[in-house]
Amino acid sequence: MTPDPMYHLTCLIEEERQALLSGQYDLLERLSRRKDTILDGIDFAQCDPSDLATLQGETARNESLLKIALDAIREASADAQSVRDRFGRLETYGPAGERRSLSAPVATAIRRA
């Protein structure tokens, strides 16, 4: 019996949803490659229209989650840049109460004799 590619695609879309909800964005690239492989093996002309409608809804849901995540990342990046622009660098206090800079270290060239 040949495995049902629609079933595998549905499971993969659910994995993608869980990755988006849990913030595991590093998994999305691997899942995307698997999705492409599965999609290549599906003859959509032979699929049940109700299965396709369900699949379309699940895909739209994941697309919305991805857009929300991207918007949140862009907003956080803009907020961090705003703080850096206003104060020159981002500072906080360490466990012993000393002031610490959270800005990226300045790159220096390594010189060898």
Say how many domains are in the chain.
Answer: 1
The reply to whether 97 falls in a domain is no
How far is it, in rounded angstroms, from Cα 60 to Cα 53? 11
The reply to whether 106 falls in a domain is no
pLDDT of residue 84: 74
Return the bridge partners of 93, or none: 99
Q: Tell me, rounded to whole angstroms, the distance of Cα 110 from its chain centroid.
A: 36
Rg (CA), the chain: 23
Q: What is the pLDDT of residues 46-98, one digit of tens each?
A: 889 999 999 999 999 999 999 999 999 999 999 888 877 776 667 788 888 88
Angle at 50 between CA 44 and CA 51, to 5 degrees: 55
How far is it, in rounded angstroms, from Cα 58 to Cα 17? 9
Range of the domain at 71: 5-85
Tokens of 110: 């390594």
The reply to whether 53 falls in a domain is yes
If you average pLDDT over residues 26-49, what whole number do you get?
A: 92
